[in-house]
Structure 1
């Protein structure tokens, strides 16, 4: 099979796996608290990825001088991104949470201007305006009349997007760590605090997790955090980074559709308008940040 076609198939596998993770999180939150559930899935995936990295001959050792960079990337691109986005699902629908979280290209472009001295182009300003308009459309469903719970969900979703964008801008230089090992370290370091915080703050009950909850937990560990990352790095070896990143903009769209079909969440004009705007917010073009298989985790489920 030609490398380009293989890359598109792997990209599709990645997008579908990450998209289905959004309604899966909503199901799991019915039985387990957000931080603990996402942390357990992440730590399990990190162990699996570490075993895979070792089996394919990667060197999993992290040079001492790169440890601060690894910790920063894990904090912004995993702990904040995964933890805050999962917390937002307690108060938001999948469509609201996914579309707000995937505003990170907007914040990447804005933060890259003062930090990396990358002034947006005319097209970039147009994409910024379109993206912000989509956020306004999404949040105006109830006339901007938010209760405290709704506001907390919006705050966590936007915090996940902004912190992920900040981490992308600050740590965009690739680290000299093999790709699978890098993902294993970042996911493990970023998710372990979720497990500890969840255990002491959320007080999870193992007996509360039923068959469907266990199925979702296993799916989150194996597919979005393990299989999809392996497929993602394989995609980057076969397709240009800008094409791969554009393909990832399918994730919130497919996640909204999956939530409508599986959870009965609304799928109307408001979600469609904002999803259309989401397709035009491409971080790799507006902020000048390139995706590299040896760099940080730049796109997350």
Structure 2
């Protein structure tokens, strides 16, 4: 009975996490019309880290970082936050939500490839099939105009791919958990990574602080409280109550909801090409996740 209750709560937390992270894609795109990417994401992340730190302290969790864990924490911050959030957000200036989300969520395929030289895990036939499906999906998505891209679009594609590749590399190299509570790890990674983005944004993007409208401010508040606040809490509850493969595979609904919500909110295209690309890419990712 307790196991069934745990699974039910786990799936509810998974649903909250997936919807919260998915809706962040189109709302972030709206916010980027008013504030530059590194500044917007960095400020939201610093605010979110402050809220999560308060929550951790209220749970009597220490924010101290063991000295031997500092190098691994900094590397994880680089791959999990600065690369994933920073490069991914900058990419959104140049690509659609559908393109950005599907390219970013190819990360399990890259992780499978990195596991070969790093962990000596040879790809199986299923792994190769997953890779081929993923490549076919991305090619279908990006090939609408015969792969003819302007400089901005090409930059966005490269940034989104680097975001996925670096995140995947971090997942392979950061397999040993850090000796801190999960919420404290998030506090430090989001805080440090987003503080670096904020500094770079202020120095090089020269944001107009008063340019934000009520709609933009609403998007900023959502980004701070939901995907970088509530969703991390529900994600840890998901991992505590569900098998890792079920949790990871369930997260494939994130790009699906993101693409559909972008079509509704932003009017982005959602036709047979986009649906076919989504099916191929997420099919390949599913195979890679089941191997993991």
Contact 1:250–1:279 (8 Å) recurs in 2: no
> 1:112 Cα deviation (Å)?
1.0
Task: Flag the structure with higher helix content.
Answer: 2
Mapped to 2, the partners of 1:284 and 1:34 lie a distance apart of 30
Count, aligned residues: 287
Q: C-alpha distance in 1, partners of 2:278/2:256?
A: 6
The answer to which of 124-133 and 25-34 deviates more is 124-133
Instruction: Find the counterpart in structure 1 of residue 269 from structure 2.
Output: 266
1:61 counterpart SS class: coil
Tell me which of 177, 180, 183 is aligned to 2:180. Answer: 177
Instruction: Say which SS state the counterpart of residue 44 (structure 1) adopts.
Output: helix
Q: Which runs of 4+ in 1 moved over 4 A?
A: none
Alignment match of 1:157 (pick from 138, 155, 160): 160
Per-residue CA shift, 1:130-167, capped at 9, x if unaligned? 11111111111110111101101101100100110111
Q: TM-score, normalised by structure 1?
A: 0.93
CA shift, 1:271, in A, is: 1.2
**Structure 2 counterpart of 1:247:** 250
Once the 2 structures are TM-superposed, how far is the Cα of residue 186 of structure 1 from its aligned partner? Answer: 0.7
- For 1:52 and 1:120, how far apart are their aligned partners in 2? 41
- Whether the 8 Å contact between 1:100 and 1:157 is mirrored in structure 2 is yes
CA drift of 1:277 comes to 2.2
1:209 aligned onto 2:189:
no
Q: How far off its partner does 1:35 sit?
A: 0.5
1:19 match: 22
- Give the TM-score of the pair, scaled to structure 2: 0.96
SS in 2 for 1:118: coil
The residue number in structure 1 matching 2:96 is 93
Q: 1:285 aligns with which of 280, 287, 290?
A: 290
Which residue, 226, 229, 242 being the options, matches 1:226?
Answer: 229
2-side partners of 1:116 and 1:46: how far apart?
Answer: 32
Where does the alignment leave 5 or more consecutive residues of structure 2 unmatched? none
Deviates more, 1:175-184 or 1:118-127: 118-127
